[in-house]
Every structure is written in structure tokens, then in C-alpha cells.
């Protein structure tokens, strides 16, 4: 039997959705293996009390064809070594699932790549929308000096595959050079 979901609206003016059903906080220590510099991760965990990198607020729907999960991710400004704070990044378990981001506050970048090696990176900022096509892994990076906040939406039955990214990484990193973000090769990328 098909579950009927009631329509509702949320407020995004504060850079997060209100009301929300789920809140998750991700700290530097949770991202060991995702950032390139493991020593810098360890140092932030021990000396800086494991700061929060990002949080997300989500309104999940039943995992079924035709429903959308949506929420807001907020990435704090900061760096691990020279690499900007970012989300873990993932493929969807259901590889044919796409996703969309809509910038609410701050400025960032969405890094994307396919299993076959195609790469793309697009800016996300207030009022911009970024489309993440099917079969593309994606990660979002805060390259600004304030919190980056964006609304996302994806099929509720898409699932998340973080393991592939933890093992392989992304082919490119976003780092700070002379006060500006640049995209460089990831020396730890495991093809």
C-alpha cells in the first residue's frame, strides 16, 4: 500500500529548515580518511576539541519511488591543514539518482566526479542552483569566511555510498593558496 505524505512547507530564512525531523552534526574526527592530511585532523581533534565541520537538518520521507528527501546543510568556515572544510561526499547507492542544491548563505563549491574519471566543480552561493546528475559523486566545500548554507533535495530511495569515497577519495582537492581557493590534484587519490 502506498503511504500518503501530507504537504507541508518550511522556513529557510535563517539558513536552515524549520521545522525539521532530523539533525546531524559532523566533527573533524568523523572525517578522518576524507581529508587528505590525517595529521592535521588528529591535531584539530586533540588540540582544538574536535570542532564541528558541518551539520544538516533534514525532512526525510518514506524510502519509495516518487518521494523527495530535502534539508539544509550548513558548513562552517575553516580548514584542515590547507584543505577547506567540506562534507564527506558520496555517490548515491541508487546510482541513477540525481540531486539539486540551492545556495542560501555564504559561498562554496560543489566537487563532482564520475567513476570513469570525469570531473566538474561548480560554485554554490546565495541564489544559485547546482544540479548533480545521476552517477556523479559529489561533495560540497565552504571556500568563504562565513557559514555556507544550502538547501538540497534528492529521491528518498537514493541511499548514500560513503565507503567508495572513503576508499578512493576525490581526484581533486580544494585548498587555500595565497588567500584564495584553488583546485589541485589529490596526492592520495586511489584510482
Supply the pLDDT for residue 2: 61
User: pLDDT confidence of 16, banded at 50, 70, 90?
Assistant: confident
- pTM of the predicted structure, to 2 decimals: 0.93
Residues 110 and 122 sit within 8 Å (Cβ to Cβ): yes
Residue keyed to cell 558548513: 75
Q: Residues 86-117: pLDDT tens digits?
A: 999 999 999 999 999 999 999 999 999 999 98
Distance CA 116, CA 180 (A): 29
Domains and CATH numbers, the chain: 22-185 (2.60.120.10)
Amino acid at each position: 500500500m502506498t503511504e500518503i505524505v501530507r504537504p507541508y512547507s518550511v522556513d529557510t530564512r535563517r539558513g536552515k529548515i524549520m521545522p525539521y525531523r532530523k539533525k546531524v552534526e559532523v566533527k573533524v574526527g568523523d572525517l578522518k580518511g576524507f581529508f587528505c592530511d590525517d595529521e592535521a585532523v588528529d591535531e584539530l581533534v586533540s588540540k582544538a576539541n574536535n570542532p564541528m565541520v558541518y551539520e544538516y537538518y533534514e525532512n526525510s520521507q518514506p524510502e519509495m519511488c516518487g518521494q523527495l528527501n530535502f534539508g539544509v546543510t550548513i558548513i562552517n568556515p575553516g580548514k584542515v591543514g590547507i584543505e577547506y572544510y567540506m562534507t564527506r561526499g558520496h555517490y548515491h547507492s541508487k546510482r541513477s539518482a540525481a540531486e539539486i542544491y540551492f545556495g542560501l548563505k555564504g559561498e562554496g563549491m560543489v566537487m563532482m566526479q564520475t567513476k570513469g574519471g570525469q570531473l566538474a566543480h561548480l560554485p554554490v552561493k546565495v541564489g544559485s542552483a547546482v544540479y548533480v546528475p545521476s552517477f556523479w559523486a559529489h561533495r560540497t566545500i565552504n571556500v568563504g569566511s562565513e557559514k555556507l548554507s544550502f538547501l538540497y533535495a534528492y529521491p528518498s530511495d537514493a541511499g548514500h555510498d560513503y565507503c567508495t569515497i572513503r576508499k578512493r577519495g576525490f581526484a581533486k582537492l580544494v585548498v587555500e593558496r595565497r588567500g584564495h581557493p584553488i583546485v589541485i590534484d589529490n596526492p592520495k587519490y586511489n584510482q
